[in-house]
Amino acid sequence: MTKEFNITGTCIPDMHYMVDTSDKLDKIIELIDRGKYFTINRPRQFGKTTTMYLLSKKLEKMDDYLVIRLSFEGIGDIIFENENKFSREFIEIIANKLKTKNQNLSKYLTGQIEKINNLNDVSNVITEFIIKTGRKIVLMIDEVDKSSNNQLFLSFLGVLRNKYLLRNEGEDHTFHSVILAGVHDVKTLKLKYRPDGEQKPFDISTSSMQRYAQDRYNSSWNIAVDFKVDMSFNPAEIATMLEDYSNDKKIIMDIPEISKRIHHYTSGYPFLVSRICKEIDEKIATDGKDNSWTIADVDDAVKTIILEVNTNFESLVKHVEENLTLKEYVENIILGNKSYSYNALNLTINIGVNHGIFSNENQKIAISNKIYEEVLTNYITSKLEHKEEIINNIVQSSYIKPNRRLDIEKVLSKFQEVIKEKYSKSDLLKSSEFLEKDLRLLFLVFLKPIINGIGFSFKEVETSEEKRLDIIVIFRDEKFVVELKLWRSEEYHKQGITRLKDYMRREGVQKGFMLIMDKRRNKEFAIYEEDGLTMVWI
């Protein structure tokens, strides 16, 4: 069977090129061996289902374990209508799962169903079932946040919690380990819904949401240990998939460098890693390209991917639009207007992390990867395009040199001209708020149609006292750095030049530019060279 890169559903080793996650699985098995209960809560398409599948296969090779792997996806809402319905059908689902593994145990559970009327009866059946098997039973439940009646499911978890505590005291028998998987931590399941049941944008800072959120601190699942296994792929892990692919298809590539480049854009988000690889593989197959991968191929793949519409990106934008406070955080981070300290107890940050939007970088909140950052930037700027005249009459070809290179000097000069003509006579340009937010957004809006389809950009934000926003522009195979900064003082300016040149050296960029936002009344709209950099004053 011909293998391929998979971006939908469970990854199967015989069918798909996959990262070697043996180390991750071994760390999870250590938790299981110790009889721990835990939740694998990660964003959509982060490899949760694949991990559960591979974990079950590995455990099934061990004689002392019996794995029961369930999923709440696709079972419908009827099971959650009432306690009696849920109790009976839960045991029936387990019985059906055991048909191919142990028919005697399956028949035993089927025979108990008519005796079950409530969760207490479920508890008794579980006790008798565990005694009857004489093995360590591992219960895995995937897509736990698909349940339509969270309170009923949380009540069931309360039963498991009580049995776990009694087991540890030697007074009951229950599952050796229970693993739940979903986007949300079980402690925050209720946070998916508004208290009034409405499905529309809300601000979680409101008193009603804060009262509603108190349930997370009184969870039925507080017996669960923290799941600290890193589910993202590091460059060395990405390399294992590329090695398999390269050997299979006789593809030539610098695997360590390609792996680092893919990680640079994705931060190891499994879906995005596979999506880049799939894009390059399909380009080789359809474009008659030589059987080799280069860094430029990775850049080209990212350029294509950030412009596509897929369910992952749609979900990303949906979650931002549904939460007004989260949206404010995202815009401020992307535009470099404000920084936020990482605090897992902050509900906005918690939601952002759950959905893969935020990550913790040195105890500061950041957009989790460069692809998401560019997708969200494009989304934010696209809404402004229809309102601002700043992009009117922009013709992409006007900014491309005869050698097909981007005339970045002309781009910045024209932007300066537009700002001078449109805003210099307005009090807005003297406003600190305008300089730190609106002007940065306007530049991104101005830049987008010029590089769209041929190049792309990504941002490095430094929300220090100097208020910097570094934009890396990749146009074909050439890179530029444009640093947007608010003028503070001559001392900060000199320090900024040093930092920018250091950053350019790290990125291997030859040309650097400073777009300086100056609110002094005696400023000039000037462009000149200073210390090897081009200064553009606005």
At 86 the pLDDT is: 92
- Of 90, 97, 91, 92, whose CA–CA distance to 60 is shortest? 97
At 385 the pLDDT is: 63
Euclidean distance between CA atoms 156 and 152, whole angstroms: 6
Euclidean distance between CA atoms 161 and 128, whole angstroms: 17
- Of 362, 332, 331, 363, whose CA–CA distance to 346 is shortest? 363
At 455 the pLDDT is: 86
The two three-digit tokens of residue 115, written as one number = 């005796």
Cβ–Cβ < 8 Å for 156, 119: yes
At 466 the pLDDT is: 56
Euclidean distance between CA atoms 274 and 280, whole angstroms: 10
Residue 488 CA to its chain's centroid (Å): 35
In order along its 538 residues, the chain shows pLDDT tens digits of 789 999 999 999 999 999 999 999 999 999 999 999 999 999 999 999 999 999 999 999 998 999 999 998 877 778 888 999 999 999 999 999 999 999 999 999 999 999 999 999 999 999 999 999 999 999 999 998 877 566 788 889 999 999 999 999 999 999 999 999 998 877 655 544 444 444 444 344 444 344 334 444 456 788 999 999 999 999 999 999 999 999 999 999 999 999 999 999 999 999 999 999 999 999 877 776 678 999 999 999 999 999 999 999 999 999 999 999 999 999 989 887 788 999 988 999 999 999 999 999 989 999 999 999 999 999 988 877 655 555 556 778 889 999 999 999 999 999 998 888 776 655 555 555 555 567 778 888 889 889 988 888 888 776 555 567 788 898 988 889 999 888 888 888 898 899 899 988 888 888 899 998 887 756 678 999 998 899 999 8
SS3 for 209-239, per residue?
A: HHHHHHHHHHCCCCCCECCCCCCCCCHHHHH
Secondary structure E strands in 477-522? 478-486, 511-517
User: For 88, phi and psi rounded to 5 degrees?
Assistant: -70, -45
322 lies in the same domain as 290: no
SS3 for 465-484, per residue?
A: CCCEEEEEEEECCEEEEEEE
Q: In the chain, what is the straight-line distance between the N-terminal and C-terminal CA atoms, in Å?
A: 60
Total domains in the fold of the chain: 4
Q: How many residues does the chain have?
A: 538
14 lies in a domain? no
Structure-token match 């349930």, residue found:
215
Amino acid, res. 381: T
At 205 the pLDDT is: 42
- Tell me the residue range of the domain where 348 lies: 306-387
Structure-token match 């009344």, residue found:
521
At 212 the pLDDT is: 38
487 lies in the same domain as 535: yes
Final residue of a structural domain among 282, 304, 326: 304
Cβ–Cβ < 8 Å for 172, 160: no
The two three-digit tokens of residue 321, written as one number = 């639009």
341 lies in the same domain as 260: no
At 231 the pLDDT is: 97
88 lies in the same domain as 59: yes
The two three-digit tokens of residue 471, written as one number = 């934009």
57 lies in the same domain as 164: yes
Euclidean distance between CA atoms 538 and 524, whole angstroms: 7
Type and span of the H or E element at 360: strand 358-361
313 lies in the same domain as 337: yes
CA dihedral angle for residue 216, residue 42, residue 176, residue 19, rounded to 10 degrees: -170
425 lies in a domain? yes
Final residue of a structural domain among 260, 289, 304: 304
Final residue of a structural domain among 387, 403, 424: 387
Amino acid, res. 189: L
What CATH number is associated with residue 187? Answer: 3.40.50.300
226 lies in a domain? no
Structure-token match 């964003």, residue found:
43
